[in-house]
Chains A and B, each alone.
Chain A
Amino acid sequence: MSELLELAERIAGQAAKGEQIEAYASRGEETDVRAYEGEVESLTSAASAGVGVRVIVDGRQGFAYAGSLEEEVIRETLAEARDNAGFATPDEHVGLPGPDGRAPATMDLWDDELVAMPTATKVELALELERRVRSGDRRVRQVASADYGDIAGESAVATSTGISASSRRTICSLSVSAVAGTGSDSHTGVGFSAGRGPADLDSDRAATDATERAVRLLGATKARSGRCVVVFDARVTSTLLAVLSSAFSGEAVTKGRSIFADRIGQEVAVAGVTLVDDPTDRRAFGAASHDAEGLACRRNVLVDGGVLAGFVFDTTSARRSGTASTASAVRGGYSSTPSAGCRALALTPGALDATEILAAVDEGLFVQSITGVHSGVNPVSGDFSVGAEGLLIRGGVLAEPVREVTIASTLPRMFLSVLHIGSDQEWLPGLAAGQTLAIDAMTLSGS
């Protein structure tokens, strides 16, 4: 058993009669390197650890956390959590899960090669990435940032109700931002590559992506306002799915904060849309053997052939809606309590790849990146309005570059207006896979 799990069990083991305790402990080491003009701009190396404790007495929950694993601090934290529990409103649905008999998927999310990699090699990766972009296309005049980053982390959760689970993972990434053009015709392009270990990193692809994305926007202008087909780049689709994921949260549903509440069994999308959250797919960056409450992760179908099929639940939200947890508890680290959420969303791929989708669409707007997602996409009201840049689609191929426009619709209408889902699925850092996605009849606001 890992040291961290032992520690979590020791805390959970202190539960008094009538009291439930959950201890979540985590620790990690990370390195970040930023290169600039052939030099190391910054090198950060860090180790952090902490613990979060939930105490539940008579349906009242209290929580406390600390950024330390020292015995004395942990004692204080448990005492605080106990004290805090006295101030919550009693709620019969609040409680910790017990083991539900599901075996966790066997998953190796740890790369020893990364852990053993010397800092000098990490520095060289960042320098090399910057060099590739600088020595490439002459139209790239600046590299705003070129970064290498990695994290090796471990977490453990134990409860007085018999849960005991731990896992560890590594992630490393390269990312670069290229600037092409000058003055008001400046454009940025971001490229990245990420994986569990150094063998997954593709510096050339990150550099090429950043360069191509910046350069192809040179000369961009506002497009004419009107309705059109919008084709989202795979990365943008991943971002959109991540934002939309909160509408599938069982907690949002039971509290009346989801456009999908009360719509199970109804057609919410065109027949080609099947959306699944499957953290047991090890290719996903959000892959996990256990959820944040220590239950074995499983595959959950959210939309099946256009019909709303299910939501994701943690223990409390499941009890509120009279169902069982789908092992979808997530948490933002030791300093926050669990809530229901997705980890590995993906649309079932369609028949066409990106090029074929452009050809099929013939006329429209290809969107390379979007801005204002958090201010412009509301999963409660369904309103959707974001800033966009990209290229016009003419005669089935990419044409003139476009900037400073918005695209708008509503989420329910967009689901019912899906034209094509790309066959080009790729797992990207974050909650969701990316793939090209074409949506009909969006409003473009430009000149």
Chain B
Amino acid sequence: MLARRFGDFATAEDAVQEALLAAATQWPAEGLPDNPRGWLVQVAYRRMIELVRGEAARRDREDRAARRGGDDRRTAPAADEPLTADRDDTLVLLFLCCHPTLSTPSAIALTLRAVGGLSTAEIARAFLVPEATMAQRISRAKQRIRSSGLPFRMPAEDERQARLAAVLHVLYLIFTEGHTASLGDDLRRVDLSEEAIRLTRAMHALLPDDSEVAGLLALMLLTEARAAARTGASGELISLAEQDRSRWDAAAIAEGTALVTRAMARGPVGPYQLQAAIAALHDEAPTAERTDWPQILALYGVLDRLTGSPVVSLNRAVATAMVHGPAAGLAALEALAADPRLTEHHRLDAARAHLHEMAGDRDAAARHYRAAAGRTTSRPEHDYLLMRAARLASGG
């Protein structure tokens, strides 16, 4: 809200931080004000004016005055003024943090800091980098927003969809980053997957009619529902087929399934809804054998046409094998192998290995599992693939 009134994101954020600090010291002693939110806004507002005035003394006043506009912006709102603009402001902030001019790591860091409200130290710890490095990443992102002169307002209708896609992509990356194995300090790290779900839930509340926002939230819930079963006692990966399904989170599955069902009925259907629908079919299967693979294959077909993503084509080939047998799947994979985006990708070899194993060709399967292990940059995946190869080689 402050950022919107003043058009200055970085200073507004500092002002809000100081208001929160004031609240933390005053409220315990003096008791909670009647309207805590209004109180915070008012304190932040006064601080913002001080900051802006101090700034203006140093900088070119005329330039600022020209951009600032009417006098009403210098009047603090009453503490009990209803904050009708809140909803839009959160959205505008998200659009700004995920702006395409920012690099992806910067967009992620800024979103967690400015929208998620995490401290720089928490974000640094979550990504296992020093706090000074993360602080630089955030301040450079703010600098970039400032120097590019991006206005603090809702993107125009014609670019809204593209900008929304960028926001959803950033939220999705935060979610998957949460699956990174860390070196024994889980308790001190923020759970990025939970954080991504929280942010996407907030976004869904702001845009309840957007089917892709609902689809992304559903995808996250339906994936996170399997989290407890995904790794074993020593952190090793357990494949979907071998997971203990009784450990899946039934409430999350029910919520995710209901969300994606409603979203797809309303449409328009997009990639996140399709991926969520596929996740729902996996989650609803009582056993791996009873998975509705024909339905999954059909959904991958639509997703493939919609995205043209090579990784989707790869998953489609695996689904083909589950419906029409490993030979059909392997033939589909060979057709993909020439794609330069896939030739060096460990998942091509992992998929080949899996289908050769299905077909009973243990040597070829072991060879491809080893090749995939050599190419992945994920430690748990590497260990899993190597173990699969070793099991085949030793006749296990």
Binding partners A and B: no
Which residues of A pack against B, CB within 8 Å? none
